[in-house]
Amino acid sequence: MTNAKPVVIPLNKPLLRGARRPRVALVGQARTGKSTIFEAAASVAVRQERLAGEPSTYEECVVALGLEQISLVDLPAIGSLHRLSEADRVVLMYLLWGDRWPSIARHEPRQPEASFAPPEVLVLVADAAALERDLELALELSMLGRPMVIALNRMDEAREKGLYLDVRSLSEKLGVPVVPTVAHMGKGIAELFAAALEAARSKACPLPQPPSQHIAARLHGLNALVARPDVEEAFRVPRSLLVTQLAENDDWFLGELGAHFPALREEAIALRAQAGQGLPRALSDELHADRNHRAATLFESVTRSAAGEQKEGWRALLDALFLHPRWGLAGSLAVFALVLFMVFEVSALLDALTSARLAAWVQGWQPSSTLGVVVRAVADGLIGLVGIVVPYMLPLVVLLVALEHSGIMHRVAFVVDRGFHRIGLHGAVAVPFLIGLGCNVPAISAAAAAARGRERVIAALLITFVPCSARSA
Ligand SMILES: Nc1nc2c(ncn2[C@@H]2O[C@H](COP(=O)(O)OP(=O)(O)OP(=O)(O)O)[C@@H](O)[C@H]2O)c(=O)[nH]1
Ligand SMILES: [Mg+2]
């Protein structure tokens, strides 16, 4: 007889499975790897439904984690909560309410088609190689007051770029678990789901991310205005999020406030105007700039690049320039001027040195045989191709990649955001417009990847008016 003690495996009680199974939604910007994570876990029983008012769908499947389960939901991309686009609003409505819409949304023409509860846990899928813009979304989503986990995806690309990310520090600063992943290789996925399950059990919410003090103090009036039980019941939106939306000129939330509480609408507009008095730019832009700045500061505090301290100083300088109310615009115009210079001056010089010389060289050859004519036609075609790619596309692409890697493009997108909103676009589509100077075709496909719905159509149409150097070459 042996005296071996029985092995005790602790069981979490109650087990999260069946009806207790938490819903975990994969949220994030476009192309960060949400669907790749979903597909890594998806079983054959994937349920696909349409989001209310959206042609795009969400997918849901059950993932078993030992004896427990989660319901995993793959959502369309959400760009930003700042000046909500229609597509982003539909995703936000799902995150806030599922199919149980509050009274303010009951009159919407397109109601939820399927029965789905809002997610208990958000998994923000962030691109570790372009983390700064995703951190801004993390600050925005923290206002939902819902347990959150960050999947730091594309860690392979971040490493290739020489970026070192302090995962623990990021987790502490946001108050959420952060799990590094390489989704297409399945790395970190099991840990991610375990963290999501734990977040559902502990119900621990992210740390509050209020605006900087000088702006927060100005929002007291709006805060008091919506701090009424009937408003809270009608909206069922966390107060900090509702106040931010009203302060950032969001037409939809303000419209709903006016429709359900007519007296409050005028008061909200007056309070907003009052809050914006004396600020160097509109309150909405000030709030956006403040969030951008907090995300940039957070990014810098959790990142070490292989290039070291010098690069951080450089980033701080960029922030000082691009987040400045006046100099930001001047800096962006300088970037546009640099791109134009590259496309029309440098490219013309390269053209003279490469394809023009090749063309002149071939010009001297006037074949008379059939084979010669065919070879000449092929040579002309190849020279035409070289003439577009080498002088026009290559320098532009190299310049845009350099602007993207240095973080300048992200800051330009922030500066032009306001102007782009006037024509129904987000600042993020600034990059496709710049690519359009080289060639409209890749620019339209970049716009299709960066935008959705109406925004995608407007961007694609406008890009065709960008003077394309490859076309005029
Ligand atoms: N290098 C690298 N590529 C990845 C990783 N995860 C996903 N990808 C690739 O990124 C691309 C986009 O991935 P998706 O999963 O479709 O991204 P998504 O977030 O669902 O995109 P949308 O639904 O358009 O918002 C795919 O080609 C993936 O193979 C990763 O960790 N590293
Ligand atoms: Mg997807």
Q: What's the CA-to-centroid distance between 62 and ligand 1, angstroms?
A: 21
165 and 288 together in one domain = no
Measured between alpha carbons, how far is 23 from 127 in angstroms, rounded to an integer? 23
Q: Which ligand is nearest to the CA of 181?
A: 1
Residues 447 and 337 reside in one and the same domain: yes
Whether residue 161 has its Cβ less than 6 Å from ligand 1: no
Rounded percentage of the chain residues whose pLDDT exceeds 70: 91
For residues 415 and 454, membership in a common domain is answered with: yes
Contact 83, 250 (CB under 8 A): yes
Question: What tens digit of pLDDT does each residue of 327-367 get?
Answer: 888 888 888 888 888 877 888 888 888 888 888 888 888 88
Span from the CA of 26 to the centroid of ligand 2 (angstroms): 9
User: If we measure between CA atoms, which residue out of 299, 315, 293 comes closest to residue 169?
Assistant: 299
Number of domains in the chain: 3
Q: Which residue has the higher pLDDT, 130 or 183?
A: 183
Higher pLDDT, 2 or 156: 156
Distance 74 CA to ligand 2 centre (A): 7
Using CA atoms, how far apart are residues 41 and 189, in angstroms rounded to an integer?
Answer: 8
What pLDDT score does 10 carry?
65
CA of 176 from ligand 1 middle (Å) equals 22
Ligand 1 pocket test, pick from 72, 90, 137, 184 with the greatest ligand atom count within 8 Å of Cβ, gives: 184
Quick one: average pLDDT of 419-443? 78
Cα–Cα distance measured from residue 133 to residue 122, given in angstroms and rounded to the nearest whole number: 18
CATH number reported for the structural domain that contains residue 285 in this entry: 1.10.287
Enumerate residues 6+ apart whose C-beta is below 8 A from 393: 438, 439, 470
The pLDDT confidence band at residue 311, using thresholds 50, 70 and 90, is: low
Q: Does 297 score more than 60 pLDDT?
A: yes
Q: Binning pLDDT at 50, 70 and 90, where does residue 313 land?
A: low
Here the CATH number for the domain that contains residue 158 is: 3.40.50.300
Judge whether 434 lies within some domain: yes
Q: Over the stretch 221-245, which tens digit does the pLDDT of each residue have?
A: 999 999 999 999 899 999 999 999 9
Residue 342, pLDDT score: 82
Q: Is residue 409 part of a domain?
A: yes
Q: Which of 27, 35, 51, 131 to mutate to test the pocket of ligand 1 (most atoms within 8 A of CB)?
A: 35
Q: Which of 249, 281, 297 is the last residue of a domain?
A: 297
Residues 392 and 462 in one domain: yes
Percent share of the chain, pLDDT over 90: 30
Task: Give me the pLDDT at residue 305, please.
Answer: 59
Q: Is residue 313 part of a domain?
A: no
Structure tokens at 314: 């450089």
- Per the CB < 8 A criterion, the answer to whether 66 and 10 are in contact is no
Q: Mean pLDDT of all residues in the chain?
A: 85
Indicate if the pLDDT at residue 394 is higher than 90: no
Separation in Å, CA 345 to CA 284, 381, 442, 467: 38, 24, 21, 14
Residue where one domain finishes, among candidates 164, 182, 202: 202
Query: Pick from 183, 202, 221: which residue ends a domain?
Result: 202
Higher pLDDT, 309 or 223: 223
Q: What is the pLDDT of residue 224?
A: 93
Shared domain for 35 and 171, answered yes or no, is yes
Tens of pLDDT, residues 48-88: 777 766 666 788 889 988 888 999 999 999 988 887 888 88
Q: Give the environment of ion ligand 2: residues with CB less than 5 A.
A: 34-35
Q: Is residue 318 part of a domain?
A: no
- Give the whole-angstrom CA distance, residue 130 versus residue 113: 35
Q: In this model, does residue 190 exceed pLDDT 80?
A: yes
Q: Contact at 8 Å (CB) between 422 and 455?
A: no
Asked if residue 83 is part of any domain, the answer here is yes
Q: What pLDDT, on a 0 to 100 scale, did the predictor assign at position 182?
A: 96
Q: What does the pLDDT read at residue 195?
A: 96
Q: Ligand 1 within 6 A of 31 CB? A: yes
Same domain, 66 and 163: yes
- For residues 182 and 434, the model is more confident at 182
For range 442-465, the mean pLDDT: 82
Nearest CA to ligand 1 atom 1: 154
403 shares its domain with 271: no
Is 151 inside a domain boundary? Answer: yes
- Asked if 350 and 229 sit in the same domain, the reply is no
Q: Which atom of ligand 1 is nearest to the CA of 154?
A: 31
Residue 2 has pLDDT above 60, yes or no: no
Shared domain check, 333 and 411: yes
Alpha-carbon distance values, 377 to 366, 380, 423 (Å): 11, 5, 44
Helix (H, G, I), strand (E, B) or coil at 235: helix
Mean pLDDT over residues 168-174, rounded?
95
Nearest to 36 by CA among 176, 135, 183, 144: 183
Q: Given pLDDT bands bounded at 50, 70 and 90, which one contains residue 307?
A: low
Whether 190 and 217 share a structural domain:
no
Q: Note the pLDDT of residue 70.
A: 92
Co-location of 191 and 132 in the same domain:
yes
In one-letter notation, the amino acid at residue 112 is P
User: With bands split at pLDDT 50, 70 and 90, how would you rate the model's confidence at 44?
Assistant: low
Instruction: Give 193-210 pLDDT, tens digit per residue.
Output: 999 999 999 999 999 998
Region 140-164 average pLDDT? 93
Task: Looking at the structure, tell me whether residues 273 and 188 fall in a common domain.
Answer: no
Q: Can you give the pLDDT at residue 343?
A: 78
Q: Do the domain assignments include residue 461?
A: yes
From 11-15, 171-175, 402-406, the region with the lowest mean pLDDT: 11-15
Structural domain harbouring 373:
327-472
Q: What is the largest CA-CA distance in the chain?
A: 102
The predicted pLDDT at position 4 comes to: 64
| Residue 306, pLDDT above cutoff 70 | no
Q: Whose CA is nearest to atom 2 of ligand 1?
A: 154
Is residue 186, in this structure, part of any structural domain at all? yes
